[in-house]
Chains A and B, each alone.
Chain A
Amino acid sequence: MSTPTELSAPAPHGKRAAPASPRRPRKNAGVKRLSTTDKVVLGFMIGIPTLVQLAFVWIPTLLSVLLSFTRWNGLALSDIRAAGLANYSYVFNDSPAFWPAVQHNILWLVFLAVIATPLGLLLAVLLDQQIRGSKIYQSIFFVPVMLSLALVGIIWQLFYQKDNGLLNFLLGTAGTPEAVDWFGDSSVNIWAALIAATWRHAGYVMILYLAGLKGVDASLKEAASLDGANATQTFFRIVFPAMAPINIVIVVITIIESLRAFDVVWVINKGTNGLELISALVISYLIGEGQSIGIGSAFAVILLVISLVPITIYLSRTFRKEKF
C-alpha cells in the first residue's frame, strides 16, 4: 500500500503556505539572505528528489509509453521493433479480458464509493462517540489495512471455501451440491472479492475520518445544538462540510484504490474467470517469463491515462485553492 503518499497529499498545502507568510514583509531581503551554503543545501534538497523522481517515475513512465508502441520480447534491446498501434488494437479488439476488466474497475469504484467508504465513515462516527473500548474497536477495524496480501488471501479463503468455508457452513450448504462456489462461479466471485476489498477499505477510511472528526472544532457542534439542530442535522450540515479537506482525500483514495484494485483478485485466481481487472492484466502481460512488453505497456498506459483524470481534477482543485 502506498498509503503514505496519499496521506501526505494535502500536506504541501500547509507547508507551502507557511513560509509564504513570514516572507511577505521583507520580500527582497529574503532572497539575498541565502548564503552559498544555503544555496548548495537547497540545491541538493531539491535536486536529489528531482533526480529520484526522474529516475523512478518520469523516465520509466515515458519509456512505458514508448514501449507500448513497440514489440519486444524483453531480451536484447536490438529486438525492439516498432509496432505502431498494434498493441492498442490488441487491447481493444482482441483481448477478451479488457472490456470486462474496465467494467469490473468501474464496478469496483461504484462499490467502494457507495458501500465501503460510507461504511468507513459510519464506523468513524460511531467510534468517535465516547464509547468504552473505542480504541480496541479502532484497532480491530484497522487491522485489515495492515495485513499482508498473503494473509488476506488466507483469511478469505477460510470464509469462502466451497466445501469447508465458514460462509457456506453458516448457510448450511457446505459439502452439498447447492453450496455456492464463491471463488469459482464467475457471476458471484466479483462480489466476493468486493466484500473482501470493502473489509480493507472501510478500515482505512475509518482511520482517516476519525482523524478528521477529531479536528472538527467542538464549539461548532455546540453552537449547532444551541440552535436546535438534531444529531443528523449537526452531522450533515456542520461536521461533514467542516471535514472538507479530508473528504477530498477520501475521494481521491477511493478512486485510486479502485483503479489500483489488484491484490484480492490476484490472490484468488490471478484475475481471470470473472475477476478481470486492468491492473491484473498489466501484471500478467508484463511480469515473468510470459511477458509481452508491448501489450503490457499498452495496458499500463491505458491505466495511466484513466488515472490521470482524477489526479488532474484533484491537483487543479488543490492549486486553485492555494491561489485564493
Chain B
Amino acid sequence: MSFNEDQSARGIIRSAFDRRTLLKTLGVGAVSAAGIPLLAACTGGSGPGGSAAASTSLTFGSGSSDDVPKAAYKAVTDAFTAKTKNVVTTNVVPHNDFQNKISTYLQGSPDDSFTWFAGYRMQYYAGKGLLAPIDDVWETIGANYSDAMKKASTGPDGKMYFVPNYNYPWGFFYRKSVWQEKGYEVPTTFDALTTLCAKMKADGLVPIEFADKDGWPAMGTFDYINMRLNGYQFHMDLTAHKETWDQKKVSDVFDTWKALLPYQNPAALGMTWQDAAINMGKKKSGMYLLGSFVTQQYTDKAILDDIDFFPFPEIAVEGQDAVEAPIDGLLLSKKGGNNQAAKDFMSFMGTPEGQDAYAKVDPSNIATAKGADTSAFSPLTKKCADTIANAKSISQFFDRDALPAMANNVMIPALQAFIKDGTVDVKNMESQAKALYAAQ
C-alpha cells in the first residue's frame, strides 16, 4: 500500500513533506479507508522491478524523489558511469511509497543498491537477511569515515552494511541578531539553558520554539535529554528495547523535560515545524531545537545568514559528546550482493569524489566522507559539520533508532500527551513496547 505513514521520513526527506505528498497519499487514504477490515491481508504488490544485472550494469532504487536530491543522485550515477563505464539504471519511487513498501520491496525483486537510513531501520532488515554485507567495500572506503560513522553502518551481526552519504545535525538554531541585541550567550549546561529561557521569557520571547502537530519533532527533545542524562548507550538500548520504559531513568528524562516545558511554545500541538520555523524567522522566539533542515524554511538570504547553531547543552553524563545526526546513504540488497558493479557503486558513494558529485547539486546536507569538498560550505554548515565530526557518538533520531511501530504508535501519542499536561504513563509505554517488539 502506498500509504502515508510518513512520520518515518524524518529529516531531510522528511522536511520535504508538503502538500504535494499530502495530495498523493491522501487519495490513497480514502481508498484504504473504504477497505479497512481488508487491509490486514493485503500485503501484496511488488517493488519496482530490478532486471537481472550483468556484471557491467546495476540497478539503483532511489526514494529520493524530490527534485533536488533526485538530480543529485543522478549526478552521482553519471559520475560513476563516466568513471567505470558501468551502466546504472535508476528507479525513482516517491519517498513515502518507497519507505512504506520497503518490506515487500526487499522481499520481491529489489534493485541491487538502494537509498536508505542508518539505525534500527537498517539493522532490522540486515538482521532479517534481506541485505548483503559489504565488508569488502568497507575495506576500501573505511579510511574515509570516522568511527562514529562506522558504528552507524554496522549491522547487528558486526558486519558492515551501510555506506553513509550525508547527514545533518539536530541542535538549537537561533537568530544571531536577536541574541546580540539582547546580549544572550550560548548555554553549555542545562542550568544555563533554563536561566537563559527565563530571561527570554521576561523579554517577551517564546524561549524555545516548538511544534508537534505531526508528533515526531518532539522526539528530538526526548532523545537529547535522554542522552545527556543517561548516555548514548542507554538511548540505543532503550530504542532497541533492551532497557525497559518503566524505570526511573526514563521517568527522570520526563521530569527533567518538565523544567523546559514551560519555555517551549505552548501552541506546539497545533503547529508544524514549518510554522515554528517561521516564528523564529520573525524573531518571535529565541531558539529552536530542530534538525538543520530548518534553514530550508528561510528563503530570504538575510535571515538565512543570520541563523546560528549550538549543540544541546550538557546535563549529567558524557558532556556534549553525543549528537543526533540522522544519516542517509546506500544499502546493497541481497541480490545486489552478487553484483560486483553494484559493490563498486557503493564504494564510489563512499569516496569524497562520489559525495562531492552529490553535494554539488544538493548542498543543504553535510557529506560524511573525510576529504569531501567543504569549500562551498556556509559558516553555519561548517559549524554543523564540525559538531558531527567531533561527536563521539551519533544517534539517528528516535524513529530511526527505534522500532517504527513504537515510534509512530506509542511514542507520538505519549509525547503529545506529555506536552499537553506534563503527565506520562511509562508503565503503559512499557506494556505497549513489550507487545510491539515481541511481534518483530
Interface residues of A in 136-158 (CB under 8 A from B): 148-150, 153-154
Given contacts A67-B41, A96-B428, A300-B40, whether A260 and B33 have CB atoms under 8 Å apart is: yes
A1 closest partner in B (C-beta): B30
A65-96 vs B, CB cutoff 8 Å, 1 = contact: the mask equals 00110011111100000010011001001111
* B82 contacts A by Cβ under 8 Å: no
A1-43 vs B, CB cutoff 8 Å, 1 = contact: the mask equals 1100000000000000000000000000000000000000000
Instruction: Please state if A288 and B100 are interface contacts (CB–CB under 8 Å).
Output: yes
Chain B: how many interface residues by the 8 Å CB criterion? 63
Interface residues of chain A: helix, strand, loop or mixed (majority): helix
Q: Give the distance to chain B from A268, nearest Cβ to Cβ, in Å.
A: 8
* B302 contacts A by Cβ under 8 Å: no
Question: A residues within 8 A CB of B99?
Answer: 288-289
Size category of the A interface is: 35 or more
A286 closest partner in B (C-beta): B39
Instruction: Please state if A301 and B428 are interface contacts (CB–CB under 8 Å).
Output: no
* B213 contacts A by Cβ under 8 Å: yes
Interface residues of A in 176-215 (CB under 8 A from B): 181-186
Interface residues of A in 286-320 (CB under 8 A from B): 286-297, 300-301, 303-304, 307
Q: Give the distance to chain B from A307, nearest Cβ to Cβ, in Å.
A: 8
B30 closest partner in A (C-beta): A149
A160 closest partner in B (C-beta): B270
Question: B residues within 8 A CB of A297?
Answer: 40
CA distance A262 to B40 in the complex (A): 17
Instruction: Please state if B270 and A185 are interface contacts (CB–CB under 8 Å).
Output: yes
Question: B residues within 8 A CB of A64?
Answer: 37-41
**Which residue of the partner chain, among A96, A149, A293, contacts B40 with CB atoms under 8 Å?**
A293
Given contacts A181-B269, A289-B100, whether A272 and B40 have CB atoms under 8 Å apart is: no
Question: A residues within 8 A CB of B439?
Answer: 71-73, 83, 292-295
Given contacts A272-B412, A287-B1, whether A266 and B432 have CB atoms under 8 Å apart is: no
Q: Give the distance to chain A from B62, nearest Cβ to Cβ, in Å.
A: 17
Most chain-A Cβ atoms within 10 A of its Cβ — which of B37, B215, B269, B438?
A: B37
Q: Give the distance to chain A from B322, nearest Cβ to Cβ, in Å.
A: 25
| Interface residue ranges, B against A (CB under 8 Å) | 1, 3-8, 19, 22-23, 26-27, 29-30, 32-34, 36-43, 99-100, 102-103, 107, 121, 128, 130, 213-215, 267-271, 275, 403-405, 407-409, 412-414, 416-417, 420, 425, 428, 431-432, 435-436, 438-440
| Interface residue ranges, A against B (CB under 8 Å) | 1-2, 56-57, 59-64, 67-68, 71-76, 83, 86-87, 90, 93-97, 148-150, 153-154, 162-163, 181-186, 260, 262-263, 266-267, 269-270, 272-273, 279, 282-297, 300-301, 303-304, 307
Q: A94-B435, A291-B405 are in contact. List 20 more A-B contacts (CB 8 A).
A: A57-B38, A83-B439, A97-B413, A148-B26, A150-B27, A183-B269, A186-B269, A269-B214, A273-B213, A273-B420, A288-B5, A288-B6, A288-B404, A289-B5, A290-B404, A292-B435, A292-B436, A292-B440, A293-B439, A300-B40
